[in-house]
Structure 1
Amino acid sequence: MSRVTLAQWRMLAAVVDHGGFARAAQAIHKSPSTLNHAVHKLEEQLGVKVFEPEGRQVRLTEAGQLLLRRARQLLDEVDALEDVAAQLREGEEAEVVLCVDQIFPSSALAWAMEAFSASFPHVRLQLHETVLNGGVEMLVAGQADLLVSGFAAAGHLGEPLVMVRFIAVAHPDHPLHSLDRQLNLRDLKHYRQIVVRDSAQGKGRDAGWLEAEQRWTVSHISTSLDMIERNLGFAWLPETRIRRHLDDGRLLPLPLEAGGVREAPMLLIHQDLDRAGPATRAMASLLRESVSTCPAQSQLNHR
Structure 2
Amino acid sequence: MDLHLVTYFVAVIDHGGITKAAQALYISQPSLSQAIRTLERRLGTTLFDRTGRRLTLTEAGRTLEVAARRILADVDRAKARVAAVRDLEAGAVEITTFSAFSLHPVVDLVRRFRARYPRIMVRVSDADGPSGVHTALRRGEAELGITDLSAEHGGMVAIPLVEQHLVLAMHPDLAEGLPDPVPRALVRDVPLVVDLGSRADAARTGELLGTHNVVVDCAHPTATWEFVRRGIGATVVPAPLARQQMPSAAVRAIEPPLIRPVGLVLRAGEPSPAAAAFIASATEQLREG
State the TM bucket, normalised to the shorter chain.
0.5 to 0.7
Q: Does 1:98 align with 2:60?
A: no
**Partners of 2:162 and 2:182 in 1: CA distance:** 29
Higher mean displacement: 100-109 or 152-161: 100-109
Change (3 A) 1:181 1:100: closer
Contact 1:168 1:236 in 2 (8 A): yes
Report the 3-state secondary structure (helix = DSSP H, G, I; strand = E; otherwise coil) of the residue aligned with 1:226: helix
1:273–1:110 distance in 2 versus 1, CA, 3 Å? same
- Percent identical residues: 17
Letter matched to residue 138 of structure 1: A
Measure, in 2, the Cα distance between the counterparts of 1:116 and 1:160.
21
| 2:135 matches 1:137 | yes
- Evaluate the alpha carbon distance shift between residue 160 and residue 182 of structure 1 in structure 2; reply closer, same or farther with a 3 A threshold: closer
Query: Aligned equivalents of 1:181 and 1:289: distance in 2?
Result: 33
Question: What does the per-residue CA deviation read over 1:243-277, in whole Å, with 9 as the maximum and x for residues that have no partner?
Answer: 2578x6532316x5x33x32111122223432x22
Q: Cα 1:110–1:280, aligned 2, differ >3 Å: closer, same or farther?
A: closer
Q: Which residue of structure 2 aligns with residue 146 of structure 1?
A: 144
Describe the superposition over 1:93-122 as per-residue Cα deviations: whole angstroms up to 9, x where unpaired.
Answer: 84321123533325522423423542xx1x
Query: In structure 2, what is the equivalent of residue 163 of structure 1?
Result: 163
How do 1:45-124 and structure 2 match up within 5 A? 90-91=82-83, 92=85, 94-101=91-98, 102-103=100-101, 104-115=104-115, 117-118=117-118, 121=119, 123-124=120-121
Does the residue aligned with 2:112 lie in a helix, a strand or coil? helix
Report what 1:241 is aligned to. Answer: 241
Q: 1:187 to 1:96 in 2, by over 3 A?
A: same
Q: Does 1:287 align with 2:285?
A: no
- Whether the 8 Å CA contact 1:116–1:283 is kept in 2: the answer is no
Structure 1 residues 171 and 136 mapped into 2: Cα distance closer, same or farther (>3 Å)? farther
Could you tell me the TM-score, scaled by structure 1's length? 0.53
The 3 A distance-change label for structure 1 pair 205 and 243 is closer
- Contact 2:161/2:263 (8 A) holds in 1: yes
Q: Counterparts in 2 of 1:133-282, with a 5 A limit?
A: 133=130, 134-151=132-149, 152-174=152-174, 177-178=176-177, 184=183, 187-196=186-195, 206-207=202-203, 208-209=205-206, 210-215=209-214, 216-244=216-244, 250-253=249-252, 258-259=255-256, 261-274=257-270, 276-282=271-277
Structure of greater Rg: 2
Query: Does residue 125 in structure 1 map to residue 110 in structure 2?
Result: no
What letter corresponds to residue 277 of structure 2 in structure 1?
A
Using structure 2 for the length normalisation, give the TM-score. Answer: 0.55
Match for 2:263: what amino acid?
L
Cα distance in structure 2, aligned partners of 1:281 and 1:198: 33
Structure 1 residues 194-252: Cα deviation after superposition (integer angstroms, max 9, x where no partner): 223556xxx77622141441432222434333322221112221111112578x65323
Q: Secondary structure at the match of 2:172?
A: coil
Alignment check: 8 A CA contact 2:97 2:129 kept: no
* Counterpart amino acid of residue 194 in structure 1: V
